[in-house]
Amino acid sequence: MSVKFTNHEIKYIALFETITSAMVKDCIIDDEHNKITFLVKKGDMGLAIGKNGSTIGKMQKSVDRSVEILEHSDDPGEFIKNLLSVADINSIEFGVDAKGNKIATLDVDSKSKRKAIGKNGQNIQRARQFAKRQFEISNIIIK
């Protein structure tokens, strides 16, 4: 599935790739929380973060926003675990809902459900956006 980027996203992706030398697969701009989340190619996390976080720090200063970096994977299970790495995910099951949409159901450790959901649901919302854009997964359900 190919993602269509806005001019705004293209500008940030170009800047990020110039500063970090990491390849961006996707980008979500969250104006409400003044945050940009970049999805980088598998293996490019080190480049994106830099020694002691220097590269990501440079990026944050350049855009005057919080910057988050996540690693892509071609495996949807590993991909979702990367998106919600703050939580302890025991298992992931993929299925189809009554309307024929792909869904992922996560068995998350009870102590880390709050982390998976995030403040005001922003972690799970971001994960759902990336999963939809990258794998056409319509919903991620935490149980």
Domain range annotation of the chain = 7-71, 76-142
* Kind and range of the H or E run holding 16: helix 7-20
pTM: 0.92
Count other C-beta atoms under 10 Å from residue 111's C-beta: 9
How far, in Å, are 12, 90, 99, 103, 123 from residue 37 at the CA level?
10, 25, 30, 22, 11
Strand ranges for the chain from DSSP E: 24-30, 35-40, 66-71, 89-96, 102-108, 137-142
CATH code for the domain defined by 7-71: 3.30.300.20
Domain 7-71 and domain 76-142, same fold? Reply is yes
Three-class DSSP category at 124? helix
pLDDT of residue 1: 59
Q: pLDDT tens digits for 42-89?
A: 999 999 999 999 999 999 999 999 999 999 999 999 999 999 999 999
Strand ranges for 31-82 from DSSP E: 35-40, 66-71
pLDDT at 3 over 90: no
What is the assigned CATH class of domain 76-142? alpha beta
